[in-house]
Chains A and B, each alone.
Chain A
Amino acid sequence: MSLDDRVAGVSCREVLAQLGDYQDGALAADARATLEAHVGACANCAAFGGAYGGLVARLRERLAPRPLDADRAARLAARLAKGD
């Protein structure tokens, strides 16, 4: 098991380098197909890609901003009214 392993014509190292663009939907169609063929046949990259994508989803879900609480909003309004 090494990042130099080649599966479906690309190394795990290359897949790791492109994983961000893949996650962001920024890979061209042919590069995406090549990456997906590798991941479909490489257990390490499949597991890692799943964890990577899962972590991004947790960021969105778990850190969603909440509205200001009433006290903080009132202090902000007071400072803005005062103007300094």
Chain B
Amino acid sequence: MIRAAAGDRPAFAAIVDRYGGQVFHLARALVRDDATAEDVLQDTFLAAWRTAASYRGDGAVASWLYAIARHAAHRHGRRADQISTDDRSLEALGAAAGWGQPDVLAIVARGEDRAQLEAALATLPDDDRLALWLHHVLDQTFDDTAKVLGCSVAAVKSRLHRARLALAASLRQGGDHVAR
């Protein structure tokens, strides 16, 4: 599909049409504001257009685009530094996420609200947030998520677990501070 689109503007336009929203929302999860996310969106498809002819991967179009978008987002600067969840024990993450607390299900209720969910995601380290987006929102397989992140499938699974715990912890802590 990608090689078919190389040099073929209508075919490429169909790819832009199909994946533009996904790329923009992924970019928005990686950079600080809408304007920067739009720059990342444009840079991603421009780079994709230029490299389509030389694309020799066997992966899906989506993961190819998401990997380009990840690099483009890095060039536009990362969000503020965050403490890596790798430095925290699973026990500490579980406790912060509410293990053993009577109100643990409150995180699910808070997660109903898109704004609260996005605010909690914004507190996570970049690769944690990216893993959650790729796998749970954009339906990328473990294999494709690993390719975009440049790590092993085992590392993706471990990262997803830590990221979900950290997200739950952030929802618990930040829920009261998010504007409604």
The interface residues of chain A, by DSSP majority, are classed as helix
Instruction: Tell me whether chain B's interface is mostly helix, strand or loop, or mixed.
Output: helix
Contact A56 B136 (CB under 8 A): yes
CB neighbours (8 Å) of B100 from chain A are: 1, 3, 44, 48
Q: How far is the CA of A65 from the CA of B46 in the complex (A)?
A: 21
Bin the interface of chain B by size: 35 or more
In the complex the two chains form, is B164's CB within 8 Å of A52's CB? yes
Type the 1/0 row for A51-83, where 1 means its CB is closer than 8 Å to any CB of B. Answer: 110111011101111111000110111011001
B32 CB–A CB distance under 8 Å: no
A contacts with B, residue count (CB < 8 A): 40
In whole angstroms, what is the CA distance A76 to B27 when docked? 14
Instruction: Say which residue of A13, A20, A76 sits within 8 Å of B161 (CB atoms).
Output: A20
Query: Once the chains bind, are B164 and A20 in contact (CB under 8 Å)?
Result: yes
Q: Is the CB of A20 within 8 A of B25?
A: no
The residues of A that contact B161 with a CB separation of less than 8 Å are 19-21, 23
- Cβ-defined partner of B42 (8 Å) among A3, A54, A66, A79: A79
CA distance A65 to B65 in the complex (A): 15
